[in-house]
Structure 1
Amino acid sequence: MNKRKYNDATLYRITRSQAIERDSVRGYPMCVLCKIRAAEQVHHIIYRSQNGTSELTNIACLCSGCHFKAHGLNGGNAKEIRRILLKRVEEATTNYEKNKSNKNSGYGAAYKRNE
């Protein structure tokens, strides 16, 4: 395995775990698209074959039905779904990073003690 593929695979493992944590509700990963079913799969919004990266803002947790639609199958409009996913994942990533920095700064722990 060359160095680029190794680095991308390592980054994907890390960001996949972060995406699952980011898209979880009460500890269960939820589909970012339908927001109803449990997410069973992780999807690159901009496909790797189209130079998409394995960064957190390009990865979404999806249920299998929505994953098919994201690829333009089962009546899905891939371009429209990509636009929706990019917006939702950007918002979710911003909130995830804010919450993560609050936990690391001690704010979250102090806030919970005062509740």
Structure 2
Amino acid sequence: MTNEDALNLIFIISDNIDYEVNNNLVTVLEKQNHTIQNFFRRLKFKIPNYKKIELDKYSSFVFLQIDGKKTVEEIGFNLEKAYGDDSHPLYERLLVFLNHIEGNCKYIERVN
């Protein structure tokens, strides 16, 4: 994939996750419904239904920009506009983050 291809990627938030937004910070709620967890719940162990993952201000900003319309380049531009030099190296970090939440976490999906 070329740099131009990477900057033209468009993502959408997966339908399989739940999240909350509080003061522009995102908390992802991962459902804990593994067979073993459900078994122990029936035995009255206190196992929460969701695992909460709190994103920092940069990750939350990027996550909230993902709408199925904005390209990676547009998200990066908005991130730099909001946080200036604190967001640098911009596209290297942004692409690593997006690849992580797409490939490992399955929070987002590619549209194109």
TM-score (norm 1): 0.30
**Greater relative CO (CA pairs within 8 A, separation 6+):** 2
Pick the structure with more strand per residue.
2
Pick the structure with more helix per residue.
1
When Rg is computed on C-alpha atoms for both structures, the one with the higher figure is 2
